[in-house]
């Protein structure tokens, strides 16, 4: 290790501290045993104790908050809640309509790169048709997963285009940045023709498609 006055000392210190602390097999087995005995989680489970009620107060200011409404403003607050509720219902219905549309994949002619913006025509839901394609001649099943389908590997299968031999699917996506990947015969793989996501999670790297707002 270099001397404390050497500018490299921090790299050396960090390198030493990064040494792996091996996971003991007995500890792992005990943990997995506890997990197996725990109730299976589901999207309906929203437990409140994730960070623990017995945690110390240190640095917790940002996590929990509350709103106090004075009694005299109750009527006004109720009116506001009714208005907000109507707005939320409208957004939810629009979103549902868009999701239904996104599942109706349109299969157009072959394209040079994936993903490709097929249509710039504004729709009722302000979504754009984006065509994804992958050349995987030996694959027997290809699916698309991403932030737009909650990474569900059965939600968006690709079809083989008889003309080009490529696997294709087109989706209507809202404007913005979407992270995605292909699942080729069970293996997750990034799109070779698209930019990689900078914030790669563990596992295979993801790709990114940017969908611009429709022209008005």
Partner 1 sequence: MGVTQPDVPGFNLATMTDAMLVRRVLDGDTAAFTTLVDRHAAACTRFATRMLGNREDAEDATQETFLRAYRSIARYEERQTFRTWLFQILINRCRTAAVRRQRRHRMFLVDDTAIAAASVRPAVDAGDLRAELKRAIDALDPDQREAFLLKHVEQLSYDEMAAATGVGVSALKMRVKRACDRMQWMLREGEASDVGT
DSSP summary character for residue 71: G
Smallest gap, in angstroms, from Cβ of residue 176 to partner 1?
A: 12
Instruction: Note the helical H segments in 155-207.
Output: none
Smallest gap, in angstroms, from Cβ of residue 134 to partner 1?
A: 15
Q: Which is nearer to partner 1, 10 or 81 (CB)?
A: 10
Smallest gap, in angstroms, from Cβ of residue 80 to partner 1?
A: 26
Q: State how far the Cα of 49 lies from the Cα of 98, in Å rounded to an integer.
A: 34
Query: Which whole-number Å values give the CA distances from 59 to 51, 53, 55, 110, in the listed order?
Result: 12, 14, 10, 55
Q: Which is nearer to partner 1, 18 or 215 (CB)?
A: 18
Smallest gap, in angstroms, from Cβ of residue 25 to partner 1?
A: 11
Instruction: Give the position of tokens 């907000």.
Output: 84
Smallest gap, in angstroms, from Cβ of residue 71 to partner 1?
A: 32
| Longest pairwise C-alpha distance within the chain | 70
Q: Which is nearer to partner 1, 19 or 215 (CB)?
A: 19
Q: Which is nearer to partner 1, 30 or 120 (CB)?
A: 30
Q: Which is nearer to partner 1, 154 or 163 (CB)?
A: 154
DSSP of 97-157? HHHHHHHS----S--SSSSEEEE----TT--EEEEEEE--TT-S-EEEEEGGGTT-TTT-B
């Amino acid at each position: 290790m270099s001397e404390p006055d050497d500018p490299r000392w921090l790299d050396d210190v960090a390198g030493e501290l990064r040494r792996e602390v091996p996971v003991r097999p007995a500890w792992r087995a005990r943990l997995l045993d506890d997990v197996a005995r725990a109730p299976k989680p589901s999207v309906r489970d929203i437990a409140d104790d994730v960070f623990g009620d017995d945690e110390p107060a240190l640095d917790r200011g940002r996590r929990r908050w509350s709103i106090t409404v004075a009694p005299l403003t109750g009527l006004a607050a109720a009116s506001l809640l009714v208005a907000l509720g109507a707005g939320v219902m409208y957004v939810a219905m629009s979103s549902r309509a868009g999701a239904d549309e996104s599942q109706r994949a349109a299969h157009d002619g072959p394209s040079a790169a994936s993903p490709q913006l097929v249509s710039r025509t504004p729709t009722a839901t302000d979504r754009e048709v984006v065509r994804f394609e992958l050349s995987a001649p030996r694959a027997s099943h290809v699916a698309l997963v991403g932030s737009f389908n909650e990474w569900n590997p059965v939600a968006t299968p690709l079809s083989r285009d008889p003309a080009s031999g490529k696997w294709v699917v087109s989706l209507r996506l809202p404007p913005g940045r979407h992270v995605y990947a292909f699942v080729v015969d069970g293996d997750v793989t990034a799109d070779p023709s698209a930019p990689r996501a900078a914030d790669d999670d563990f596992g295979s790297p993801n790709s990114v498609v940017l969908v611009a707002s429709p022209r008005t």
